[in-house]
Structure 1
Amino acid sequence: MELNPDLQEKKIFLIEGLKRTYKGQYDAIQPLPYIKDRLYCVDKVFVEGSVEVCLASELTPDTRGSWERLDSYKSIYTDFRFKSKRRIIQGEPGYGKSTLTLQLAYDWCNDVSDSPMNNVEILILLRLRQLGSVKSLFRAIKSFLLFHEPRVSKHEIENIIIHSCSSVHIILDGYDEYPGRDSNDNDDVHRIIKMELFADFDVSLTTRYLPECLRKETKGAKLTGFDDKARDEYIRKAVVGNNDEAVEEIKQWLYENSILADLCQVPLIFVMFAHMAHDQRDLMKFKSVTQFFKHMIRCFYDHLKQKYGDNRSNKFYLHEMEHHELDKIAFEGLNKKNQQLSWIKTGFRQRIGPELYDQYILVGILVEEDEVSDDCIGNNVSFTTMVRFYHKLFCEWYAAHHLVTLVKNAHDLSDRLRFLDPFDLQYLFRFACGLDPDAGKKLINHLKGLPGGDNFAILCILEQTGDVNDIMDSVKELCSRRVAINTVNSALLQRSTTQLLEIASKNHIPISRVWLNHCCPRVDESGLNLILESGLSLSILSSLQELWIRDDRKLTNEELAAILSYSSQCTSLKVLEFIKYDLPDTIPVGSIPSSLKSRNVKVWNFIDYGKCRRLNLQTGQWQACDGLGNLPGEEGFHDTSYQCSLANFNRAMSN
């Protein structure tokens, strides 16, 4: 449809207005919230973390065994297997969902040639948490993206987008923070997700969890955090450039603070850690995440004290120590069936006091953002200033202080904490245990009574004492028996178990055997981490003695070679066992690591009742073994680990 000259001019105004808005957003990336005069363009700091896509025919919360790693975020839009008009990009808080959307906006505004946004005529990027009661997409575009462009009306926006565009891509950022999420309202956001509106438009939705109204045509991707490669790239790109010595120094800080390895998979936290490690040459060694977070908050205030000198330092110190009302607000927000992560500024500021509020904004702990008011009439738009914590982890930090007070004075914790899910709020519990030993003891007893809570309780003991020696007996007892990680386990249990295994390995505690059940493990590009289906990683375990993996799927030669390579680096490994796998009949001898041969590691493949074969490490051939697990020529050697494996296999099959 050919536009009349007037509307064609309006279309130019619309596109220019959108680009002006996006530029203001992607030019204001702030890696350290307390340094407000150090802003970056997203293209200067954006680093691709791990991206995976779901190749199942239908996207559901319990989709298993069908996630595959992508080389780039661009493949979400270019891989033919992921072709769809509706795409969901999942990720936990701080994993870079919003930063990815800003990179896509940068690509569009700057005509980046190899970007999937290059051929998009109009890109609409909306932050859903700002929409408030706005139900119309076009009203939201006018209110948030073209508020500074009086030459284009809401009606003209609608006319241009529906009738005169060759391609439109809509990005809806942060569904989990959308005020109308999972409601029955027939607003434009839900109609778009259900493909009842703009079915021919490409739509991307970022979120922590899957909406209830998904159509089966929707394809899913997820961001799983920073691996070693991404961390190295960020340090070079945004912190020190190509100064190899400085890069290694920052990485060394992280290695020496191994207790933070899990926390630093979160890109937002690693970014702050990297900048702090570069800025502070005397960065201390942290024994717990509580200690690290306390240090980070102190850095926020120290920067402010240096900036304003002695005149306000005493007041800053007083406010740094006294935050009881902020603690209470944070706890109240998290301890709800539907968590509250943002508040109206006027009531929030009045509750904690204007002076404290202004300081939290200045420090960077709190962030303000405008949201469309509920009392808008007709085309008149008014805004309400909302306030939220810089990141949910900061909300958990302050809520933990109130949780300590609550726990110390409570007799029955179950009712008081009924809305606090330890998986969703892992660091709330860990912080509370690290802040107060007495409250920590009560919380640890509470956690032990929850399904899968034992392993998490051990991590909380570590937070409580800051000394690995205090949990050694528990870790040794755990590792003396079979340690199982099942795909049906909660993410909390999986995460706690992998962390404890890594603590054991770093402290040379023998790990008898690890059993990965339907976890679809694969080796990452570095060859140093085993990635589970949940997205969690298991680094090389030098003290691991036996690794058992069960899955009903086929492995390629390349996948098998990667697992053999990973296993060879577990220097104490004696047995590697594949259960129910469909494995290649022959393995190229060159892909079998020499260390497996020199240590004569037993590699078995249990296929069915009474059917087992063993890999001949010298020839690369699978060969039938006798009832004692021996290959021809090894008769007379009674392999007890084989008998144990056989008994385990029979139990697994009977279940």
Structure 2
Amino acid sequence: MEEKHKKCLERNLYDICQDLDPSAIYASLIQGNVLTFCDTQVIDAEVTRSGRALKLVEILQRKGRHAFDVFINALKSNHRHLHDLLQDQDQSFEFDPPFLEAEKLERELKQFYLGRLGRINPVPWLHQYRFSAEGVYIEHTLVRSEALYSTQLARFGQEVRTNQLFTRHELSDDPKRILIEADPGMGKSMLCQMLALTWSRECSEDKCGSSSPCIHSFNLLFNLRAKNFSGCTSIEGVISECLLARDSGISQRTMNNILKRTNVLFVIDAYDEKCGENQLLMDLIEGLVQRNATVLIASRPAHLIQKLSFFDSIFVVCGFSKNNQMEYVEKLAKQMKMSDEQLSELRHKMKSEWRDLCENPLIITILCLLCTEVNTKLPRTRTGIYSAIHELITDKASQILQWNKEELQDLIFSPLSKLSFDTYNSKRVISKGDLESLPCSINDVLQTDYLSKESDLGLLNTEQNYSFSHRTFHEFLAAMHLQMMTNTERQEWLQDVNVARDETIITFLFGLLTGENLTSMASLVMGRLHYNSLQSFYAHSCKESHLQLKLLSELNDMPLELNDVISEHCPVCIHITRDCSPSCLKGALHILNICRMKSCCIELIFDLGATTDFIAIMKKSAECEGVKVQLLGCTSMKQLDECLAAMNTGQKASCVRNVWVISPQVDEQDVRQNVMSFGDRMHAMRLYGCHNVQFSLQFLKAAQKSLGLKVLSMDRCEMDDFCMKLMQQLLKNPFLEDINCVSTNNMAQLLPIIADLNRLHKLSISLDDMDEKEIRTFGNLLKKNTLQWLSLDRCSFSAELCNTLSQCFPEMPFLRSLLILNSYVGDQAEFGRSLSAARHLNLERLCLYNIELNQNNLEIICGVLPELTDIKLLFVNAVDLNHDQLPQTPTLAESSESPLLSTVGLNHTKVPWTNRRLLPMCVLLGHIGPPLNCNHLAAQLSSHATRLQELFGAIARCQKLEELSLAGMQIGDNLIDDVSKMLMSLKKLKCLDLRGNKLTNNALKQLSQRLHERPKMIQKLDITGNQGINEDTVSELQKCVTYVMRDEVEFAFLAKIGIRKSDVVPCFGLGCSM
């Protein structure tokens, strides 16, 4: 179809979608060879009539030149008004001046892109390598970032192709702001370049498929870089300066008119390289200008964390698959004329020691270069590869300039490295003046091929700037300057560095430094990461603890002097996730070796939904004394058996005797045909979140083999009568010390057997509808005074149960931890007496989560807290303090049927176990029960604030408190003074959790001012899920808190699908081993 006819359809799209019934004109369009029967099926798949009309228009635009005429003729009989409208406009269209200018601009842009972007130089310092962009391009896999980040939201995520970037999805019907994130060298710029090239060519089924809309649905595409916006005040000015020829004749006024009347796509690359203030770009992202345009931003991760809420779609560029790698190498080898021997060696190394690195296209390109240009032994680490490139550049420059290497180092590389460091810190471009200040000529610098004159798309730019061939070379040279600094200077720079955003430069430092310099840097960096181990810093990353692993993977061998540093800051837990790379495993192996030598305890969590090969690290774990292992989401018995066999689990020769199987997804028939291969020397066996009765049964049978079992946990697992009989047999094991039986089954029937265990010191249990005998047995169990930990989870607190607790608490001096979770309080008065009796306990930990307290019981707990003189950890999470003011809340079983929970698949019996920081509230305040009138609501809020003040006053008197969690307690700005006073009283407080509350940026600013007055810094503060926090406030908090957590990504996606931040509340988020 001709462009003018496409424009005509687009200009009248609203009327067409409002009035057209596509089925009424199918026959005419099929007869006119415009539509096929397959086309009609695609159209009819749309749910609404307007959607079908829109789909028809999209398909028509891809048809031949006669499609428009056939379409107009088909409208004559049933849609005469549309026929006349389109025919009249078609005849007058050629006289529309803005349209003519738009067509002229479109032609100019397409010619410009085809001429400028069709060729690439993948190795800028070797000019003989000049390829066709389309000849070497390999399409990447894109993944919706929420799918990688959260198992709660994984069902919304999907892998997508580049031609599906603009399609609607569950979170947006019309994505206008699109973010693409990827690590350095992953091909963000190439992807942007190919989008512009694809748009410049005719639409084809091969490249565009049947996606809706494809890139050709945009009338104009502007391919820009983020730095182009710096210093500009208008979008029209950016386009004119960077994309138009001087004699284009298109004024900014005409450009503004075109932008208003056409469907526009801005493709903006390298947001992470933006220089200085860039308000115009911020306005474009936020929709303050060009709101109706589509804007695609490409950036490294973590740079737009504050702007995520403005993006309708967020994608992550995944690394090359093995097939992608081989295809890309074949294309490069052909272009570079590699010999068969070189290609064979390259393929071998890509499958072995370079396996991790070769997910990155830039690294593959460099490796191809090294194979063709260098004959020495090829490196194995990222730093080694860039060092080899530096050597190659040095040799080439030495030959060209006739200088020896010392002269090159003194006159070019050292000054250039310092310039790289300075511009990296100040986030500015390298200007001509910068190069003129060096002790050599600009031409000499350019001979190194590290830098080149900027050949931006801009044709009106007069100021000459220079850029590195890739930003990673900029970072490598900056790291080389840091390497040459004194230890004191380098440590001073590291004090202010953002480890997440400066990951690349720190990675290079780990590979470049040696001896005492490496040890002191590692001590500082590892120490900072030690508190980050539970936190993700952007949607698709591994856990931050994996940055430790990736840094360690840069070391070919582990220096002995680093052993003490790493063991001191060793993460207590390593979670191998589905997006982990082999470098994570390499670093983990380093840590396991140190744990083995230093006898450190460590917990390994394996996400078995991943494709990563865990076998090597599993085998190594068998050598580590005291290692604990969690296996998440196994999908088959074969997979589980392979893991258990690799670790020799429960065997005499293995240290792996403590295993937790979490959320298995195994088919029932598969379970029936296999036996779990646990050995007979297990110490601890835990099963969590299993909804397959047969799996539960097989797990219990496997536990029977270990006569010395000390820990048995069946937590939230489906069990039938056979399972319960096996539980009764297993609980007769006199060596059991720790039992967890939280379930919907009648667990009270197990009490007579549990009561006979003389070594039991830890019990987690569900108690509901107990009879008199069971109550009496439970009382006898408590009076034995062996328990140090008691968790009452999903219990019904009847008068009889409360009375038993009241009588027994004064006789339990050894109980150190008391948890009351997810429970229904049937008798508030008797429950109050139980709370009052808790003052006789020597508690170090108290946790109240998702329960109800009336005014009297709140006063009781406020009186008891100061008397718990040994309390070190206090959790009060999602506790309803207004129970006596609200209508009766549904029971636990009723609340689990909440439609809000089912909206995102959240259920109190089906917690997303792969992210245990987030537990769903089983009672969602404000969603369950009849709505309150405004007067009642105002009174309730006032009363809630008063009650929180009372609670804060009591907590302030707990002088030994080290960890405090007040997540989901609806703390607002009006209470920040009370929170501050409480914190000033808690001299020993190390960790504070304020997630899921209602604090705003102003309140947190005020909090930071008060925290500055504390004589001792708080080590960790979590403010995730509060409102409108900006970076300046976080920076202020970081001055008085060692580590501030504010993981907004998950909450942003929950908010998009209709969940309030306060409705998903973290419970055990301070890293304690409850």
TM range (shorter): 0.7 to 0.9
How far apart are residue 583 of structure 1 and its match?
3.5
How far apart are residue 500 of structure 1 and its match?
1.5
How far apart are residue 138 of structure 1 and its match?
1.7
Matched, 1:440 2:518: yes
Deviation string, structure 1 residues 543-590 (Cα, Å, up to 9, x no partner): 344884477xxx6xxx72499289559834637966552745625469
How far apart are residue 273 of structure 1 and its match?
1.6
1:421 maps to which of 498, 514, 517: 498
User: In the superposition, relative to structure 1, how do residues 153 and 315 fare at CA in structure 2: closer, same or farther (>3 Å)?
Assistant: farther
How far apart are residue 17 of structure 1 and its match?
1.3
1:270 maps to which of 364, 375, 395: 364
Q: Distance in 2 between matches of 1:563 and 1:203?
A: 47
User: In the superposition, relative to structure 1, how do residues 505 and 96 fare at CA in structure 2: closer, same or farther (>3 Å)?
Assistant: farther
Q: Distance in 1 between matches of 2:513 and 2:125?
A: 23
User: In the superposition, relative to structure 1, how do residues 112 and 129 fare at CA in structure 2: closer, same or farther (>3 Å)?
Assistant: same
Q: Distance in 1 between matches of 2:701 and 2:494?
A: 54
**Matches of residues 338-357 of structure 1 in structure 2 within 5 Å?**
339-344=426-431, 346-355=432-441, 357=442
Matched, 1:319 2:398: no
User: In the superposition, relative to structure 1, how do residues 272 and 63 fare at CA in structure 2: closer, same or farther (>3 Å)?
Assistant: same
Q: Distance in 1 between matches of 2:241 and 2:638?
A: 53
**Matches of residues 194-213 of structure 1 in structure 2 within 5 Å?**
194-208=286-300, 209-210=303-304, 212-213=306-307
Deviation string, structure 1 residues 44-74 (Cα, Å, up to 9, x no partner): 2222344220358xx9xx9775364515233
Q: Distance in 2 between matches of 1:461 and 1:481?
A: 13
1:363 aligns to what SS in structure 2?
coil
Matched, 1:383 2:462: yes
User: In the superposition, relative to structure 1, how do residues 494 and 30 fare at CA in structure 2: closer, same or farther (>3 Å)?
Assistant: closer
How far apart are residue 222 of structure 1 and its match?
1.4
How far apart are residue 227 of structure 1 and its match?
3.9
Q: Distance in 2 between matches of 1:565 and 1:216?
A: 42
Aligned-residue identity in percent = 16
1:543 aligns to what SS in structure 2?
helix
Partner of 1:168: 264
Partner of 2:117: 26
User: In the superposition, relative to structure 1, how do residues 343 and 475 fare at CA in structure 2: closer, same or farther (>3 Å)?
Assistant: closer
Q: Distance in 1 between matches of 2:286 and 2:470?
A: 30
Q: Distance in 2 between matches of 1:383 and 1:562?
A: 67
Matched, 1:397 2:470: no
1:127 maps to which of 201, 209, 225: 225
Q: Unpaired segments of 5 or more residues in structure 2?
A: 1-10, 12-92, 209-213, 532-544, 650-655, 713-735, 741-761, 765-788, 790-915, 917-1067
Q: Distance in 2 between matches of 1:316 and 1:177?
A: 31
Amino acid at match of 1:152: I
Q: Distance in 1 between matches of 2:592 and 2:321?
A: 19
Instruction: Say if 1:543 and 1:573, in contact at 8 Å, map to a contact too.
Output: no
How far apart are residue 541 of structure 1 and its match?
5.0
Instruction: Say if 1:368 and 1:385, in contact at 8 Å, map to a contact too.
Output: yes
Instruction: Say if 2:178 and 2:295, in contact at 8 Å, map to a contact too.
Output: yes
User: In the superposition, relative to structure 1, how do residues 34 and 494 fare at CA in structure 2: closer, same or farther (>3 Å)?
Assistant: closer
Amino acid at match of 1:10: E
Partner of 1:66: 153
1:90 maps to which of 181, 203, 211: 181
Partner of 2:973: none
Matched, 1:564 2:639: yes
1:560 aligns to what SS in structure 2?
coil
Amino acid at match of 2:315: A
Partner of 1:624: 697
User: In the superposition, relative to structure 1, how do residues 76 and 456 fare at CA in structure 2: closer, same or farther (>3 Å)?
Assistant: closer
Q: Distance in 1 between matches of 2:493 and 2:176?
A: 44
User: In the superposition, relative to structure 1, how do residues 282 and 314 fare at CA in structure 2: closer, same or farther (>3 Å)?
Assistant: same
Deviation string, structure 1 residues 8-58 (Cα, Å, up to 9, x no partner): 4433321121112222442232221211232222222222344220358xx
Q: Which gives a bigger RCO, structure 1 or 2 (Cα 8 Å, sep 6+)?
A: 1
2:284 maps to which of 180, 185, 192: 192
2:237 maps to which of 139, 157, 162: 139
Amino acid at match of 2:319: G
Partner of 2:668: 586
How far apart are residue 607 of structure 1 and its match?
2.7
User: In the superposition, relative to structure 1, how do residues 276 and 515 fare at CA in structure 2: closer, same or farther (>3 Å)?
Assistant: same
User: In the superposition, relative to structure 1, how do residues 449 and 513 fare at CA in structure 2: closer, same or farther (>3 Å)?
Assistant: closer
What is the root-mean-square deviation of aligned Cα atoms in Å? 4.9
User: In the superposition, relative to structure 1, how do residues 624 and 244 fare at CA in structure 2: closer, same or farther (>3 Å)?
Assistant: farther
**Matches of residues 603-622 of structure 1 in structure 2 within 5 Å?**
606-607=687-688, 621-622=694-695
Deviation string, structure 1 residues 493-512 (Cα, Å, up to 9, x no partner): 99986431255799998999
Q: Unpaired segments of 5 or more residues in structure 1?
A: 374-379, 531-537, 616-620
How far apart are residue 350 of structure 1 and its match?
1.4
Deviation string, structure 1 residues 130-176 (Cα, Å, up to 9, x no partner): 2331122122222211225524333333323322x3x3222122223
Deviation string, structure 1 residues 315-342 (Cα, Å, up to 9, x no partner): 67732564222222222234x4xx4152
1:35 aligns to what SS in structure 2?
coil
**Matches of residues 532-551 of structure 1 in structure 2 within 5 Å?**
542-545=619-622, 548-549=629-630
Deviation string, structure 1 residues 101-139 (Cα, Å, up to 9, x no partner): 111112111225232313333222111212331122122
Q: Distance in 2 between matches of 1:226 and 1:645?
A: 46
Instruction: Say if 1:366 and 1:390, in contact at 8 Å, map to a contact too.
Output: yes
Instruction: Say if 1:625 and 1:631, in contact at 8 Å, map to a contact too.
Output: yes
TM superposition score normalised by structure 2: 0.47
Moved more, 470-479 or 189-198: 470-479
User: In the superposition, relative to structure 1, how do residues 215 and 93 fare at CA in structure 2: closer, same or farther (>3 Å)?
Assistant: same
Amino acid at match of 1:442: S
1:407 maps to which of 476, 483, 486: 486
1:77 aligns to what SS in structure 2?
coil
Partner of 1:361: 446
1:226 maps to which of 320, 337, 340: 320
2:216 aligns to what SS in structure 1?
coil
User: In the superposition, relative to structure 1, how do residues 73 and 7 fare at CA in structure 2: closer, same or farther (>3 Å)?
Assistant: closer
Amino acid at match of 1:314: W
Instruction: Say if 2:143 and 2:159, in contact at 8 Å, map to a contact too.
Output: yes
Amino acid at match of 1:35: L
Instruction: Say if 1:86 and 1:217, in contact at 8 Å, map to a contact too.
Output: yes
How far apart are residue 414 of structure 1 and its match?
4.9
1:171 aligns to what SS in structure 2?
strand
Q: Distance in 2 between matches of 1:391 and 1:644?
A: 58
1:624 aligns to what SS in structure 2?
helix
Q: Distance in 1 between matches of 2:530 and 2:130?
A: 43
User: In the superposition, relative to structure 1, how do residues 226 and 560 fare at CA in structure 2: closer, same or farther (>3 Å)?
Assistant: same
Deviation string, structure 1 residues 461-513 (Cα, Å, up to 9, x no partner): 8867x5347589679979999643399xxx9x999864312557999989997
1:103 maps to which of 182, 194, 213: 194
Instruction: Say if 1:407 and 1:442, in contact at 8 Å, map to a contact too.
Output: no
How far apart are residue 371 of structure 1 and its match?
7.5
Instruction: Say if 1:124 and 1:170, in contact at 8 Å, map to a contact too.
Output: yes
Q: Which has the larger radius of gyration?
A: 2
